Structure 1
Amino acid sequence: MTIKTMTTASLAALILGSGTAMADTWRYAFEEALDEVQGVFAQKFKEEVEANSDHEVQLFPFGTLGESDNILEQTQSGILQFVNQSPGFTGALIPEAQVFFVPYLLPEDQDQLVSFFRNSETINNIFPELYAEQGLELLTMYPEGEVMLTTQEPVTSPEDLADTKVRVMTNPLLVESYKAFGATPTPLPWGEVYGGLQTGIIDGQENPAFFIESTNMYEVTDHITRLGHNNFTTALMANKDFYDGLPEEDQQVIQNATDAAFEHIIEYQQGLTQESLDKIMEAKPSMTITELTEEQRAPFRETAGEVEKTFLEIGGDRAQEVLDQMKADLEAAANS
Structure 2
Amino acid sequence: MKSSAIFTRAAAGALALGLSTAAFADTWRYAHEEFEGDVQDVYALAFKDYIEDNSEHTLEVYRFGELGESDDIMEQAQSGILEFVNQSPGFSGAWLPAAQIFFVPYLLPTDEQTVYEFFDESEAIHEMFPELYAEHGLELLKMYPEGEMVVTADEPVTSPAEFDNKKIRVMTNPLLSETYNAFGATPTPLPWGEVYGGLQTGVIDGQENPIFWIESGGLYEVSPNLIFTGHGWFVTASMANKEFFDSLSSDEQQMLREAADYAYGVTMEHIQGLADESLAKIQEASDEVTVTRLTDEQIQAFKERAPQVEEAYLEMTGEDGAMLLEQFKADLEAVQGN
Shorter chain as normaliser: what TM range? over 0.9
Structure 2: state its 5+ residue gaps.
1-21
One-letter code aligned to 1:36: D
Report the secondary structure of 1:143's partner residue: strand
Q: Determine the structure 2 residue equivalent to 1:77.
A: 79
Give the number of the structure whose residues are more often helix, by fraction.
2
| Dislocated runs of 4+, deviation >3 Å | 20-23
Q: Is the 8 A contact 2:25 2:58 kept in 1?
A: no
CA distance in structure 1 between the aligned counterparts of 2:86 and 2:334, rounded to whole angstroms = 27
One-letter code aligned to 1:222: P
After superposition, residues 82-93 of structure 1 pair within 5 angstroms as 82-93=84-95
One-letter code aligned to 1:253: M
Q: In the TM superposition, what is the alpha-carbon distance from 1:272 to its structure 2 partner?
A: 0.6
Q: Determine the structure 2 residue equivalent to 1:192.
A: 194
Report the secondary structure of 1:318's partner residue: helix
Q: Determine the structure 2 residue equivalent to 1:41.
A: 43
Pairing 1:60–2:32 present: no
Q: Determine the structure 2 residue equivalent to 1:326.
A: 328
Q: In the TM superposition, what is the alpha-carbon distance from 1:21 to its structure 2 partner?
A: 9.3
CA distance in structure 1 between the aligned counterparts of 2:231 and 2:247, rounded to whole angstroms = 40
Q: Please give the root-mean-square deviation of Cα atoms over the aligned residues, in Å.
A: 1.2
Q: Determine the structure 2 residue equivalent to 1:239.
A: 241
Q: In the TM superposition, what is the alpha-carbon distance from 1:22 to its structure 2 partner?
A: 10
Report the secondary structure of 1:84's partner residue: strand
Q: Determine the structure 2 residue equivalent to 1:295.
A: 297
| Residue of structure 1 aligned with 2:275, choices 269, 273, 276 | 273
Q: Determine the structure 2 residue equivalent to 1:114.
A: 116
Pairing 1:311–2:283 present: no
Q: In the TM superposition, what is the alpha-carbon distance from 1:23 to its structure 2 partner?
A: 6.2
CA distance in structure 2 between the aligned counterparts of 1:112 and 1:154, rounded to whole angstroms = 28
CA distance in structure 1 between the aligned counterparts of 2:24 and 2:175, rounded to whole angstroms = 40
Structure 1: state its 5+ residue gaps.
1-19
- Higher mean C-alpha displacement, 265-274 vs 311-320: 311-320
Q: In the TM superposition, what is the alpha-carbon distance from 1:51 to its structure 2 partner?
A: 0.3
One-letter code aligned to 1:171: N
Report the secondary structure of 1:238's partner residue: strand
Pairing 1:125–2:120 present: no
CA distance in structure 2 between the aligned counterparts of 1:60 and 1:22, rounded to whole angstroms = 23
Q: Determine the structure 2 residue equivalent to 1:105.
A: 107
One-letter code aligned to 1:181: F
Q: In the TM superposition, what is the alpha-carbon distance from 1:317 to its structure 2 partner?
A: 3.8
Q: Is the 8 A contact 1:25 1:57 kept in 2?
A: yes
One-letter code aligned to 1:330: L
| Residue of structure 2 aligned with 1:262, choices 253, 261, 264 | 264
Percent identity between the two aligned chains: 58
CA distance in structure 1 between the aligned counterparts of 2:318 and 2:277, rounded to whole angstroms = 39
Q: In the TM superposition, what is the alpha-carbon distance from 1:119 to its structure 2 partner?
A: 1.1
TM-score (norm 2): 0.92
Q: In the TM superposition, what is the alpha-carbon distance from 1:130 to its structure 2 partner?
A: 0.8
CA distance in structure 2 between the aligned counterparts of 1:301 and 1:167, rounded to whole angstroms = 20
Q: Determine the structure 2 residue equivalent to 1:149.
A: 151
One-letter code aligned to 1:278: A
Distance 1:198 1:22, change over 3 A: farther
Q: In the TM superposition, what is the alpha-carbon distance from 1:221 to its structure 2 partner?
A: 1.0
Report the secondary structure of 2:43's partner residue: helix
Q: Is the 8 A contact 1:166 1:204 kept in 2?
A: yes
Q: In the TM superposition, what is the alpha-carbon distance from 1:306 to its structure 2 partner?
A: 0.6
Distance 1:226 1:54, change over 3 A: same
**Matched residue pairs, number?**
317
CA distance in structure 1 between the aligned counterparts of 2:263 and 2:304, rounded to whole angstroms = 36
Q: Is the 8 A contact 2:138 2:240 kept in 1?
A: yes
CA distance in structure 2 between the aligned counterparts of 1:238 and 1:262, rounded to whole angstroms = 15
Post-superposition Cα deviations, 1:155-185, rounded to whole Å, max 9, x if no partner, equal: 0000110000000000000000000000000
TM-score (norm 1): 0.93
Report the secondary structure of 1:112's partner residue: helix
